């Protein structure tokens, strides 16, 4: 019988993966790869690159699994952070910068029109839609597209101090909306 994530608790899944038990990592991949792919895609804006990022992220997850500490957060959150950081690292690489210089404006325009559908499958679109539009734009740019504050200031043509203030206010607003 092939086990799925619904068949075992998160704690049992963690134990199976940590102890290299048969099927544990397969269950982990099958049940979380789609959500992690969505995050990677949001950051890198390329299906092919997002697939590579998810693959790299799962290699990191496998290698670092012994460092996962459930007292610091849920398994999915830990994996999401690894995936997001892997995607951001890729966007900061010279290869990515060179490949995206000419296509940058097209990609940003595409993102502005498609951001709702890509975020929706992880359950955040409704929360984002309830945010102040200025905060929403900055939060999407910094956290979902992976821009640094300086890069976001250039892209949005706003002063760096304004970006930092809107990020802070946006995070405060998000906390209130999520609670």
pTM: 0.55
Identify the band that residue 179 occupies on the pLDDT scale cut at 50, 70 and 90.
low
Give percent of the chain with pLDDT exceeding 90: 17
**Structure tokens of 72?**
């610091």
Query: Per residue in 99-122, pLDDT tens?
Result: 555 444 444 444 444 444 444 445
How far apart are alpha carbons 103 and 83 in whole angstroms? 24
For residue 86, which of 68, 59, 107 has the smallest C-alpha distance?
59
Least confident segment among 4-13, 15-24, 38-47, 50-59: 4-13
**Structure tokens of 44?**
């890198």
Distance (Å) of CA 137 to CA 13, 27, 92, 113, 120: 36, 35, 21, 13, 16
Higher pLDDT, 130 or 97: 130
Ramachandran angles phi, psi of 73, nearest 5° = 155, 175
Q: State the CATH architecture for 1-99.
A: Orthogonal Bundle (1.10)
* Segments of the chain assigned to CATH 1.10.10.10: 102-179
Return the pLDDT at 86.
Answer: 93
Return the pLDDT at 79.
Answer: 93
Least confident segment among 27-36, 89-98, 99-108: 99-108
Identify the band that residue 59 occupies on the pLDDT scale cut at 50, 70 and 90.
very high
Query: Per residue in 129-165, pLDDT tens?
Result: 888 888 888 888 887 788 888 888 888 898 988 988 8
Tell the CATH topology of 102-179.
Arc Repressor Mutant, subunit A (1.10.10)
* Segments of the chain assigned to CATH 1.10.1740.10: 1-99
Return the pLDDT at 116.
Answer: 44
Q: Is 62 left (phi over 0), alpha (psi -120 to 50) or beta?
A: alpha
How far apart are alpha carbons 68 and 14 in whole angstroms? 9
Return the pLDDT at 84.
Answer: 92
């Amino acid at each position: 019988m092939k086990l799925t994530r619904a068949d075992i608790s998160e704690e049992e899944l963690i134990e199976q993966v940590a102890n290299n038990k048969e099927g544990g990592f397969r269950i982990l991949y099958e049940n979380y790869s789609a959500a992690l792919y969505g995050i990677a895609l949001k950051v890198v804006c390329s299906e092919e690159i997002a697939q590579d990022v998810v693959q790299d992220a799962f290699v990191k997850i496998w290698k670092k699994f012994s460092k996962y500490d459930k007292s610091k957060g849920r398994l999915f959150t830990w994996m999401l952070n690894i995936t997001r950081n892997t995607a951001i690292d890729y966007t900061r690489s010279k290869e990515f910068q060179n490949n995206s210089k000419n296509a940058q404006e097209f990609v940003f325009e595409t993102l502005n029109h498609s951001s709702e559908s890509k975020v929706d499958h992880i359950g955040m679109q409704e929360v984002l839609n309830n945010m102040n539009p200025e905060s929403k734009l900055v939060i999407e740019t910094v956290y979902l597209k992976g821009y640094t504050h300086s890069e976001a200031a250039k892209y949005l043509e706003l002063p760096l101090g304004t970006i930092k203030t809107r990020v802070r206010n946006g995070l405060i607003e998000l906390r209130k909306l999520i609670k």
